Structure 1
């Protein structure tokens, strides 16, 4: 059985997906979550084979950030993004943070089933036409020399934390400003420092200055 955790901030969407997937193609729904933090908690508890992840889940942690953290904690779990965004940037960033696949919410039910089976088997899955677009964008970035800079691999929340750390704010102050826990701030700092290959605050300030992040708070 393919054990699936469904993550979406809309209860009606979660219910619909559970009805659609239950008993299909040896799929077992092991749980559901309404935001990124709950998704990580449930994933650590249930150890699903696949996490079906929404991207936008206000006011909770977004799917992009949750995917990056989840892949750090449970690298063996595959994350399949199920999103309304037919957008190159969302697609590219999802792959960068560790998602194994990307499917649109407007896709036929059969496509979603195929995508779940694909990522559960250790393969990647992108919706039709996405592969060509992704490769084209990747080639363009290589031509522009952007492969030497991993800034685009940071989630939006990691970029916010980066800027505030560079501006001298303490973890508690950042947590209060971004309305997240201190532990979450520490996790974001650790992840972005590792991604950027930075070791000290001085390195981080130099990097943030180079990226134009210190022009103001």
Structure 2
């Protein structure tokens, strides 16, 4: 019978990964607590205008998580302080990106709701869903680009077009990221505690990895 031995280095890596996951999940929950509370305690169909207002302010937390991943790849071991530094450094551009993404999403979903029951639905609905997917993929790539940018003064509009081109050009990675997001949303709808406390950081890590492949 073969005995599997876990080396000290592997144990250390597992403990570090667990620490990073728990720390980032906690920071995400705190930074996004108003939006999460509204999603859990209210009916999103009725309160979507409030959700649309709160959503852009969650974008800096996402970019901060991406920044922590990048710093840990370069040898950083801490979680909380790097997260807070990254949040402060990118909050303005990340919030602008979140506002743009939220606006496009609201417009497209509104059009879907209005046109899905019309005679134009077979032609229009697939186009709108495609635009929604492309917008989401572009936003994710742009969020990683905000983190990777060495020049914080670069305006967000100069990041969007390259992000759009990369998202379309590397469409397999974009599709994988979108699938991961859908799975996370389904998990949140059925088990919010699991989605917030366990899977949030790993999901963002997968998205960050896919975005690095597109870069």
Question: Does TM, normalized by the shorter one, top 0.5?
Answer: no
TM-score, scaled to structure 2: 0.24
Whichever structure has more helix as a proportion of its residues is 2
**Structure possessing the higher relative contact order (Cα contacts under 8 Å, 6 or more residues apart):** 2
TM-score, scaled to structure 1: 0.23
